[in-house]
Amino acid sequence: MEYKEFAKYYDRFYKNKDYEKEVGFLMNFIKEGDEIIDIGCGTGIHASLIFQKGFYVDCLDLNDEMLEVAKTRLKSNFYSQNILDINIDKKYDVIISMFAVLNHLKSVDELEKCLSNLRGILKDDGKIIIDLHNPQSSGSKKDSFDNMTRIMEWNYEKKNRIENSKITFMIGYKRYDDSHVFKIFTIDEVKECCTKIGLKVLNVYENYDLDKEGKETSKNLQFVICN
Ligand SMILES: C[S@@+](CC[C@H](N)C(=O)[O-])C[C@H]1O[C@@H](n2cnc3c(N)ncnc32)[C@H](O)[C@@H]1O
């Protein structure tokens, strides 16, 4: 269902994800008066937390069901667009893309195309903050809360750097399934794509922590990129 039916349950499914911590990290790169866009905003959790701090945040996502939920959270310009084909006549001080959005791309070529599109809507002195997934192995996890049982299984093909992720959740007797294929990019691949299109990686962090440098062994990576 790729975020279609999942959209209704997304917030419940990720109830324990520490969005406040992630937004705390992002605020290190946001200053008064900045114009911001959340790329792959999903249900708009980061955007709405930043909005509550007094900023205006535009929102872009490919999936209309996710955008419908985001619309209930904040006032914004909502763009139903693909990150491979962005058509926005505006430039931003800060572009954020959180929780593996760019891992939905299929190749380094697509990553380069997407970063080039982001550069097209970035002000000269603006910053792009991208949060990428970086699995180290295959695994599974099962837990229950709020009358929901979640089962997550992920199979990481290290050689091709592809993760196949399966999500199953049960609410009462009703069962829902979703699956995603993630392309995993190395730090060097991201840096090389940026260099090719005239962007520069300023820093790479791990776990939304300014004191932790992101490495190939980190489970998630936050890239801070500028012109
Ligand atoms: C894991 S969710 C993250 C959502 C949100 N950023 C968050 O942190 O909760 C990934 C989001 O990326 C969006 N997405 C995936 N591929 C996309 C594409 N090619 N263009 C725009 N959005 C895309 C999905 O629709 C989904 O909302």
The response to whether residue 26 sits with its C-beta less than 6 Å from ligand 1 reads no
Report the b/e string of 139-159 with b at 16+ CB within 10 A. eeeeeeeeebebbeebebeee
The response to whether residue 45 sits with its C-beta less than 6 Å from ligand 1 reads yes
Nearest to 56 by CA among 39, 77, 86, 71: 77
Q: What is the extent of the structural domain holding 173? A: 139-180
Nearest to 227 by CA among 127, 129, 132, 130: 127
What average pLDDT does the chain have? 97
Record the pTM: 0.98
Same domain, 77 and 92: yes
Nearest to 189 by CA among 155, 220, 216: 216
CA torsion angle for 146, 151, 154, 155 (degrees, to 10)? 180
Same domain, 81 and 148: no
Specify the pLDDT at position 5.
84
* Contact between residue 46 and residue 26 where contact means Cβ atoms under 8 Å apart: yes
Same domain, 173 and 191: no
| Alpha helices per DSSP H over 38-156 | 45-52, 64-71, 108-120
Q: Is residue 1 part of a domain?
A: no
Same domain, 46 and 79: yes
Q: Quote the radius of gyration of the chain (alpha carbons, Å).
A: 17
Same domain, 110 and 163: no
Same domain, 124 and 55: yes
Specify the pLDDT at position 1.
54
Same domain, 21 and 91: yes
The response to whether residue 93 sits with its C-beta less than 6 Å from ligand 1 reads no
Amino acid (one-letter) located at 53: K
Same domain, 170 and 211: no
DSSP bridge pairs for 164 = 155, 181
Domain count, the chain: 2
Same domain, 35 and 100: yes
Give the atom of ligand 1 at the shortest distance from the alpha carbon of 42.
Answer: 27
Ligand 1 centre distance from Cα of residue 205 (Å): 21
Residue ranges of the chain with pLDDT lower than 70? Answer: 1
Kindly report, residue by residue over 7-56, the tens digit of the pLDDT.
999 999 999 999 999 999 999 999 999 999 999 999 999 999 999 999 99
The response to whether residue 178 sits with its C-beta less than 6 Å from ligand 1 reads no
